[in-house]
A = this chain, B = another copy of it.
């Protein structure tokens, strides 16, 4: 398909590369910042612009990959009629003037690391069956896991990802801080992090929960809270997460 990408951040960069590698034609990159448009355009060997009124008219699909708060404005300023214009946001509804579909790749993209797009789930949603069909075709050309879902489900998926990914990474950062404060290396817990993530690939997380909270091991819990008494923020999180494990287990 002939594609125009609106955006130049991590999602636009990784998605553009994956689409190009799958044989699609990236006609043009648009970014509000001309230097960013140029950099990604050069990287993908295609045209670029920072002016929405110069947008290439030959695209079959126009993909907005920008921060959520900028989607509205781009969609309302988009100059072409009767084109498929989609956004890539987990938490933004389909129901925005000018938007005809959603193409949401569920992954944590960072500049530092390449990703294997074929394993990334893509949630799609179209205003009508024609759009849905085109999005399904495009998504299946880059990923083996394409799921049709509505805006409410997509938001649930995004929130689940925030818990499982963003918040877990923050817990790794807290662990790193506790270790370094005690003269220990973060390397020590890397195997444990890998093992914990691997375990839930084949087991339901609640069935493989370990640690003092799920054992109701009050002695250890109290020793840990005492250890953290001068790190109030970490102590509060330790208490709340432990209580959440105890309550969750009782419900499950």
Contact = CB atoms under 8 A, between A and B. Distances in A.
Contact of A219 (B69, B109, B112, B245): B69
A202 B237 CA distance: 26
Interface residues of A, number: 95
How many monomers of this chain does the complex have? Answer: 2
Contact of A244 (B119, B121, B153, B237): B237
A60 interface: no
A160 B234 CA distance: 11
Interface in A205-252: 205-206, 208-215, 217, 219-220, 223-224, 227-228, 233-234, 236-238, 240-241, 244-245, 247-248
Contacts of A155: 223-224, 227
Contacts of A228: 159
Interface of A: 67-69, 91, 106-110, 112-113, 115, 119-121, 145, 147, 149, 152-153, 155-179, 181-184, 186, 188-206, 208-215, 217, 219-220, 223-224, 227-228, 233-234, 236-238, 240-241, 244-245, 247-248
